[in-house]
Amino acid sequence: MNQFPLFAISEYAASPDDFVEGICGFDEFGRKTAVEEIAGIKYFVNEFWTSAQRQSHSIHEISYRACFKAQLPEFFITRLTREGDAVHDPFMGRGTTPVQAALMGRRVFGNDINPLSVLLTRPRLSPISPTDVVAALKTVDWTKGEIEREDLLAFYHPKTLRKLEALKVWLAERAPLGETEVDPVADWIRMVAINRLSGHSPGFFSGRSMPPNQAVSIKAQLKINEKLGVSPPERDVAQIIAKKTKSLLRHGSVPHTIGYRLLTERAWHTPQIEDCSVDLVVTSPPFLDIVQYAADNWLRCWFAGIDPDTVAIDMHRTEDAWTSMVASVLAEQARILRPGGYVAFEVGEVRNGKVLLEKLVWRAAEGLPFERIGVMINDQEFTKTANCWGVANGTKGTNTNRIVLLQRH
User: Is 103 found in the same domain as 137?
Assistant: no
- CB contact burial 189-216 (16+ within 10 A = b; e otherwise): bbbbbbbbbbbeeeebbbbbbeebbbbb
> Does residue 369 sit in the same domain as residue 331?
yes
How many whole angstroms separate alpha carbon 186 and alpha carbon 166?
13
Q: Are strands 278-283 and 260-263 parallel, antiparallel or unpaired?
A: unpaired
* Distance (Å, whole) CA 270 – CA 143: 42
Residue 389 lies in a domain: no
Instruction: Pick the closest to residue 191 from 149, 138, 249, 245 (CA basis).
Output: 245
Same domain, 106 and 147: no
Question: 233-253 burial by CB neighbour count: b if 16+ within 10 A, else e?
Answer: eebebbebbbebbeebbebbb
Contacts 24+ apart (CB under 8 A), 129-137: 129/249, 129/253, 130/242, 130/245, 130/246, 130/249, 132/185, 133/185, 133/188, 133/189, 133/192, 133/241, 133/242, 133/245, 134/242, 134/245, 136/185, 136/186, 136/189, 137/189, 137/238, 137/241, 137/242
Is residue 86 within 8 Å of residue 108, measured between CB atoms? Answer: yes
Instruction: Quick: pLDDT tens for 146-155.
Output: 999 999 999 9
pLDDT value for 375: 97
| 124 within domain boundaries | no
Backbone angles phi, psi at 100, to 5 degrees: -65, -40
Could you say which DSSP state residue 232 is in? P
Band the pLDDT of 3: cuts 50, 70, 90.
Answer: very low
Q: What CATH number has the domain bearing residue 58?
A: 3.40.50.150
Residues 378, 324: one domain? yes
Q: 349 versus 287: which is more confidently predicted?
A: 287
pLDDT at 140: 98
Residues 19 and 344: beta-carbon distance below 8 Å:
no
User: Of 80, 83, 63, 89, whose CA–CA distance to 19 is shortest?
Assistant: 80
Please give the single-letter amino acid code of residue 394. Answer: G
Same domain, 109 and 137: no
For residues 243 and 138, state if they share a domain. Answer: yes
Pair 186, 107 in one domain: no
DSSP letters of 333-355? HHHHEEEEEEEEEEE-EETTTTE
What local confidence, expressed as pLDDT, does residue 210 receive?
85
Instruction: Tell me the residue length of the chain.
Output: 409
Identify whether residues 142 and 238 lie together within a single domain: yes
The pLDDT of residue 12 is: 61
Q: What is the per-residue pLDDT across 116-139, written as a single tens digit (0 to 9) for each?
A: 999 999 999 999 999 999 999 999
Residue 93 lies in a domain: yes
Q: Does 227 map to a domain?
A: yes
* Cα(128)–Cα(253) distance, integer angstroms: 7
pLDDT (tens digit per residue) in 88-117: 999 999 999 999 999 999 999 999 999 999
Residue 5 maps to a domain? no
- Beta partners for residue 170, in sequence order: none
pLDDT tens digits along 212-270? 778 899 999 999 999 999 999 999 999 999 999 999 999 999 987 779 999 999 999 99
| pLDDT value of residue 384 | 46
Average pLDDT over residues 5-23: 63
What is the phi/psi pair of residue 360, to 5°? -70, -40
Residue 390 region by backbone torsions, left for phi larger than 0, else alpha for psi between -120 and 50, else beta: left
Residues 287, 281: Cα–Cα separation, whole Å = 18
CA-wise closest residue to 48 among 407, 394, 387, 377: 377
Residue 366 exposed, middle or buried by CB count within 10 Å (0-12, 13-18, 19+): exposed
Same structural domain for residues 141 and 225?
Answer: yes
In the prediction, which pLDDT does 296 show?
A: 79
Give the span between the Cα atoms of 383 and 391, in whole angstroms. 12
Tell me the average pLDDT across 24-37: 88
Residue 11 lies in a domain: no
- Each residue's pLDDT tens digit, 165-204: 999 999 999 999 988 889 999 999 999 999 999 999 999 9
Residues 36 and 134 grouped into a single domain: no
Calculate the average pLDDT of the chain.
Answer: 88
Q: Does 166 share its domain with 191?
A: yes
* Enclosing domain of residue 323: 16-115+267-291+315-348+362-383+401-408
Give residue 381's pLDDT. 55
**pTM score:** 0.91
Residue 393 lies in a domain: no
Distances (CA, A) of 373 to 23, 35, 41, 329, 376: 11, 12, 8, 18, 9
Question: Structural domain tally of the chain?
Answer: 2
For residue 353, being part of any structural domain is answered with no
137 and 109 both lie in a single domain: no
Closest among 313, 383, 395 to 91, alpha carbons compared? 313
Of 219-228, 288-297, 308-317, give the lowest mean pLDDT range.
288-297
